[in-house]
Amino acid sequence: MLPILFQDEHLVAIHKPAGLLVHRSELDRHETRFAVQLLRDQLGRHVYPAHRLDRGTSGVLLFALDRDTARALGAQFEGQQVLKTYLAVVRGHPPEAGHIDHPLSRRRDDKEWVGEKSSDEAQPAVTDFRRLAVCELPHQVDRYPTSRYALLELTPHTGRRHQIRRHLKHIAHPIIGDSTFGKGRHNRLFQELFDCHRMLLACARLQLTHPHTSQPLDLVAPPDGEFAALLDALHWSEALPAALAGRAPSESPLP
């Protein structure tokens, strides 16, 4: 059963596990499990994904339950009216905060139709980040005797494919566990030390407007599984903002 974060007659949001495809892909033609199919079978009705998460990315995945709602959600995502918050563990110690404004060329599926008006020119892509925690492990991976890592909170303001992964590679702080844009030696260290075999990227929060009630929706998927275990192992759990950790903000002390 897929964990349901929110559901009404128009929408359903799940916590997608890492390793699960959203829908059938030519890149993984032998895969037989997809979030769309599993959720359809779980609810007994058609579902329409409002956005996509990479196979290795976990976190909030939102679906519409009818075509009109799907169109309305699509307009919010296209209009950059949905606030997305991600968590990632990266190599190195990035600045405390940063703004990545780096256009990205279009990445297509193998069988994606390309029309006359389609372009492969780089498209604007913007991601903001802030550093939540850092560590230095006594293990040599590159030429230094120790290895540095950091936990980041990221806000992508555009929706290019693999945007966060490509932006973090661009600033030389790739995501741990990313086999495409990351570094194999660092990925293997986390497998050996922490038994962590997933990409450490998660969509922790989506904030949007309900397309029918106009009420704000705040959908949160705190890290779980291997991601949560790693945060505990590195003593980073308390570095998570209260909202992303699924806990209420601490009250101010009484005078």
Q: Is the pLDDT reported for residue 113 higher than 50?
A: no
pLDDT at 143: 85
- Mean of pLDDT values over 212-236: 97
Helix (H/G/I), strand (E/B), else coil: 43: helix
| Token reading at 24 | 């059938």
pLDDT at 253: 41
Q: 108 pairs with which residues across the strands?
A: none
8 A C-beta contact, residue 24 and residue 66: no
**DSSP string spanning 85-127?**
EEEEEEES---SEEEEE--B-----TT----TT---S-B--EE
Could you tell me the pLDDT band of residue 254, with boundaries at 50, 70 and 90? very low
Share of residues in the chain with pLDDT > 70 (%): 88
Closest CA relative to residue 2, chosen from 160, 239, 221, 237? 221
User: What is the Cβ-side half-sphere exposure of residue 106, based on CA atoms within 13 angstroms?
Assistant: 11
Q: Is the pLDDT reported for residue 247 higher than 70?
A: no
Distance CA(64)–CA(74), nearest Å, equals 10
Could you tell me the pLDDT band of residue 246, with boundaries at 50, 70 and 90? confident
Amino acid at 17: P
pLDDT at 255: 35
pLDDT digits (tens, 9 = 90+) for 42-63: 999 999 999 999 999 999 999 9
pLDDT digits (tens, 9 = 90+) for 117-171: 455 789 999 999 999 999 999 999 988 899 999 999 999 999 999 999 999 999 9
Residues taking part in catalysis? 54
Could you tell me the pLDDT band of residue 220, with boundaries at 50, 70 and 90? very high
Distance CA(245)–CA(228), nearest Å, equals 10
Distance CA(111)–CA(156), nearest Å, equals 27
